[in-house]
Amino acid sequence: MDLIKRIDDHVGAKAEKFYKTTLFRSDALLLGLNCLEPGQIQKPHDHADQDKFYYVVEGNGRFQLADQQITAGAGEVVWAPAGVIHGVENTGTERLTLLVGIAPAP
């Protein structure tokens, strides 16, 4: 079982939609990586029974949390409790790389 992964080894890009990949998954937690190129958006959505966090590895973006718009950059964590509508847009000029956790795992 692979218990250690380097984030840099899993960073990627897609022209048509933001890139995402799963790093680890159990019934209790999904840990993944989302990469948004400048201007890309993760549309607002919610997880009725799952909490979610975004840790900004690099870049900066605008996060929607319910009716709030919050800007966060490298080293900051954004929390989206279960049932709260959330999404993110890369408002910067460089890739936005996010370590994302969802619990329990979808």
With vertex at residue 60, the alpha carbon angle to CA 54 and CA 62, rounded to the nearest 5 degrees, is 75
* pLDDT value of residue 100: 98
Strand partners, 103: 51
Average pLDDT over all residues of the chain:
97
Hunting for tokens 């080293």 — which residue is that? 75
Share of the chain above pLDDT 70, in %: 100
What's the rounded Cα separation, in Å, for the pair 89 and 106? 22
**pTM of the model as a whole:** 0.95
Q: CA–CA separation, 97 vs 88, rounded Å?
A: 11
pLDDT at 1 over 80: no
Taking a C-beta distance cutoff of 8 angstroms, is the pair 76, 56 a contact?
yes
Cβ 87 vs Cβ 46: under 8 Å: no
pLDDT digits (tens, 9 = 90+) for 8-59: 999 999 998 999 999 999 999 999 999 999 999 999 999 999 999 999 999 9
Per-domain residue ranges for the chain?
A: 18-103
Cβ(40)–Cβ(20) under 8 Å?
Answer: no
Give me the pLDDT at residue 92, please.
93
pLDDT value at residue 62? 98
pLDDT at 39: 97
- Provide the CATH topology of domain 18-103: Jelly Rolls (2.60.120)
